[in-house]
Amino acid sequence: MAAGLSLVAGGGVVAPFDPAKILPAPERPTLSELFPSSARDGGATGFLLAHMARGKPMLWVQERMAMIEAGRIYPPGLGRSDLIHVDARDARAALWAMEEGLRCSALGAVIGEIWGDPKALDFTATRRLAVAAERNGVAAFLIRLGGHANLSGARMRWRVASAPSLGNALDPKAPGVAAWDAELFRARGFAPGRWIVSDEDPANCFPMVAAAVDRTLVEGERRVG
Amino acid sequence: MPRLSIERWLKASGGSDDADQTLRVALVVEAAHGQIVHAATRAAGVRRGTRLTDARAVDPGLAAVAADLAGDAALLARLARWASRWSPLVEVEGADGLRMDVTGVAHLFGGEAELMRDVEERLAAMGLTCRVALAATAGAAWGLARYGFSPQGGEGDSARLSVKGLPPVRRGGAPSPNPLPPGERESLSALLAPLPVAALRLPPGPTRTLELLGLKTIGQLAGVPRRSLARRFREADNPLDALDRMLGRKSEPLTGAPCEAPPRATIRLAEPVADPSAARQALDLLVPKLVAILAARRLGVRRLLLCGYRVDGEVAMAAAATALPSREAKHLRRLLVDRTDELDPGFGFDAFLLEASWCEPLGAAQDSLIEEPRGEREVAELVDRLSVRLGADKVRRPVARGSHWPERASGWVGVADSSSSSVAVAAPPRPQRLLDHPEAIGVIYATPEGLPRRFTWRRGVHDIKRVEGPERIAPEWWRERASARLRDYYRVEDNQGRRFWIYREGLIGDGRGGAPLWYLHGLFG
């Protein structure tokens, strides 16, 4: 799916794994649905960003209610600025904007955030998005904040939650590299499964200090005053 | 339109058709010595300018209503816009008139007589009495329209008058030495001779003086030696100037300076169409026409306007803008096609206009001889479609600004906005999502400046397992008021691994408020 992900085994240890085979990935861009565990969990955003290919701009559509509940995207945190943000009044407008975006093959991805289970978001609407995404080769992601996994035309359906972050090599009391608990509960052509993944290999995080850190800093032993 | 005010009042009051003949109503305005009549129904039979007390003395049952001059002016301005269907140069003239420059326009409507008939009929269909006069000079047309029908300048029925066989009016610009051939000036002056001197468009003072001198008509005035008149009257009041303008000896430029008209395509319908799909069909016909004009002039559209001219004197408009100049028929059509449903046909459209009100140069189109980045144009077209439907302020791109203050470090600008982003400040980790308004949270922490242990946000308790901070961000004193407090930001992670960006505003004893408050500002992904 993406080159940046790595698999995390139990206890925050990164297992050696072929990056290309970590997570099931569809052969062609299609519609994926992401269900964050709750609106107060930003983990799905990070999980999604790890999937994004660079080079092409992306269209990020946020419904007003999703923006109030879970915040507006913040480009300095995203690490990229080649995006177009759409502030949609309601789910209908958001779905329309997503479909328009999917018709534009110059985009790298179209991301939509929708709050709850609006009436406009039925099987037909998701099916339309999936077909548009496949026809034009633009990946579509639907973030369903506070929504239920009802009938949908999405090809891949994920439940994503934040997992305790990996150890921070410099400061064991500080949050480290982000990790996510991702569950693929429905997909076409793939068996469901559950993975704990991390954005990048923590061994490469601070290559300059890695040796010193290994020698002196062991998690839980050092007392930071 | 001599009866504009009263006709507008009759229409607004919703009376029957013969209300004009039965109701005795006068519209009055305040003047120096009490109220005077501004306009009145035919049944009232009161002339404009009569004092209300005088009118009441004759007819005690006369009803007086305050005149709405601002409303009249608004109607006139709207009519002027509507009258652009005949000519691009229309000007509001006084409180009740319109002046059109129909140079080179009349043949489009089947000649001058047909044009005037069209003007009169369309205004009459709206219930407005009008007097149309067409003459070689603006002054002559003004005088003829107001005094050419009845010498007293009273109110009458609709009528039209034209001076045939005259060369067209000269546009403004360099005054030409002899705009009218002498022979035609003779015939014009003969026509104007019986008009009263009030038709000269002079201020009331000099008009009164002329009348006291016994010069009642223009013909009499023309007979007086020019030198004696020039001695008697000062610059602005000089009747000679007015006479010269009327007869075309002096040029009188229209105030609306003629500029190069924007590319436009029009379509006129044989009869009014009230079907809502008419606008869509008209658009299908107009877009290729406009694109052909644009291609010939090598222009690309930045803003597009579709006007539907309605029979009741309204203009329904739909506008669209593009991020990059474009003259692609398919794209332009798609931008406006959704807006056509919003055009209210009312009693029906009888003409449509598609105007490229803002254009930019666009070279000849090249259909990709070599591989070229088409992506930018495609994205621009997408942004246009989104902006038209959702509003231009809803579709934006991020721009980095040189500031450490989180709300200012990144801003949103319209996609068409070409302002380049300043250099982004290298910052420690920032959240992927930021709340528009930081939300107050309850935090248990070791005072005075210890790490937070637990916080309550939206009635949910989060036990903090890991924390990093503080990252102190001081307010920008050159922007904020003096009482702004600094922020100590912490990256925290709760026992489920959810990561937040919280801050404490202020310090204990910083003299800028009470105990510091905590806020949640962002969510890490």
User: Per residue in B16-28, pLDDT tens?
Assistant: 667 777 788 888 8
Q: Is A173 on the interface with B (CB under 8 A)?
A: yes
Q: Which range, A123-137, A178-192, B19-33, has the best average confidence (pLDDT)?
A: A123-137
Q: Is residue B210 part of a domain?
A: no
For residue B508, the tally of other CB atoms under 10 A from its CB is 11
pLDDT band at residue B443 under the 50/70/90 scheme: very high
Residue A209 and residue A212: Cα distance in Å, rounded? 6
User: Are B381 and B274 within one domain?
Assistant: yes
Which CATH number does A27-216 carry? 3.40.50.300
In this model, does residue A50 exceed pLDDT 60? yes
Q: Are residues B348 and B408 in the same domain?
A: no
Q: Taking CB atoms and an 8 Å cutoff, what residues of chain A touch B403?
A: none
Residue B240 has pLDDT above 70, yes or no: yes
Does B427 touch chain A if contact means CB atoms closer than 8 Å? yes
- Domain assignment present for B315: yes
Residue B197 dihedral angles phi and psi, to the nearest 5°? -65, -20
Q: What is the DSSP letter of B147?
A: H
B422 and B438 share one domain: no
Does residue B343 lie within any of the structural domains?
yes
**Whole-number pLDDT of residue B182:** 60
Q: Is residue B511 part of a domain?
A: yes
Domain count, chain B: 4
What does the domain layout of chain A look like in residue ranges? 27-216
User: With 60 as the cut, is the pLDDT of residue A220 above it?
Assistant: no
**ipTM of this predicted complex?**
0.84
Task: Give the pLDDT mean for A43-57.
Answer: 86
pLDDT given at position B442: 93
Structure token pair of residue B339: 């807006």
Q: Does A42 touch chain B (CB under 8 A)?
A: yes
The per-residue pLDDT for B197 is 82
Q: Looking at residue B179, what is its pLDDT?
A: 47
Report CA-CA distances (Å) from A41 to B86, B428, B451, B499. 63, 21, 22, 8
Q: Do A100 and B430 touch (CB under 8 A)?
A: no
| DSSP run (H or E) holding B116 | helix B112-125
Domain ranges, residue B414: 395-427
Predicted confidence (pLDDT) per residue in B410-429, tens digit = 889 888 776 666 556 667 88
Please check the confidence at residue B221 and state whether its pLDDT lies above 70.
yes
In the stretch 185-204 of chain A, residues with CB closer than 8 A to chain B read none
Q: Please tell me the distance from the alpha carbon of residue B479 to that of residue B405, in angstroms, as a whole number.
A: 11
Q: Is B496:A181 a contact under the CB 8 Å cutoff?
A: no
Mean residue pLDDT across chain A: 81
List pLDDT tens digits, range B275-314: 888 899 999 999 999 999 998 888 888 889 999 999 888 8
**B441 contacts in chain A (CB < 8 Å):** none
Buried-exposed string A70-87: b where 16+ CB fall within 10 A, e elsewhere: bbbbbbbbbeeeebbbbb
pLDDT in the model for residue B153: 45
**The CA-based dihedral angle spanning residues B302, A103, A74, A153, taken in that order and rounded to the nearest 10 degrees:** 150
Give the chain A residue nearest B492 (alpha carbons): A175
Q: Quick check: A75 contacting B, CB < 8 Å?
A: yes
In a domain, residue B121? The reply is no
Residue B166: closest CA among B149, B183, B178: B183
Q: Which of residues 483-502 of B touch A (CB under 8 A)?
A: 491-493, 495-499
Cβ atoms B397, B415 nearer than 8 A: yes
Q: Does B389 touch chain A (CB under 8 A)?
A: yes
pLDDT of residue B83: 85
Residue A103 touches chain B, beta carbons under 8 Å? yes
Q: Does B101 touch chain A (CB under 8 A)?
A: no
Both B380 and B460 in one domain: the answer is no
Classify residue B161: in a domain, yes or no: no
What does the block give as tokens for A67? Answer: 């923006």
Contact A174/B499, CB-based, under 8 Å? no
State the CATH number of the domain containing residue B63.
Answer: 3.40.1170
**pLDDT tier for residue A85 given thresholds of 50, 70 and 90:** very high
Distance CA A136, CA A56 (A): 14
Give the amino acid at A82: D
Q: Please indicate, yes or no, if residue B120 is contained in any of the structural domains.
A: no
CB contact under 8 A, B493 and A107: no
CA atoms of B22 and B41, how far apart (whole Å): 8
Least confident of A12-16, A107-111, B30-34, B208-212: A12-16
Is B271 in the same domain as B325? yes
Q: Does residue B155 belong to any structural domain of this protein?
A: no
pLDDT at A197 over 90: no
Q: A75 vs chain B: nearest CA distance in angstroms? A: 7
Select from A5, A69, A73, A74 the residue whose CB has the most chain B CBs within 10 Å, as the one to mutate to test that interface: A74
What's the CATH code of the domain at B357? 3.30.1490.100
Shortest CA distance from A38: residue in chain B: B498
CA distance B516 to chain A (A): 23
pLDDT (mean) for A93-111: 93
Please answer yes or no on whether A162 and B496 come within 8 Å at the CB atom.
yes
Interface test with B, best of A59, A105, A162 (most B CBs within 10 A): A162
- What pLDDT does B257 receive? 42
Per-residue model confidence as pLDDT tens digits over B326-367: 888 888 998 888 888 888 888 899 999 999 988 888 876 555
Condensed to tens digits (0 to 9), the pLDDT of residues B246-285 reads 877 777 766 654 456 788 999 999 889 988 888 999 999 9
pLDDT exceeds cutoff 70 at A18:
no
**pLDDT-based confidence at A209, cuts 50/70/90?**
very low
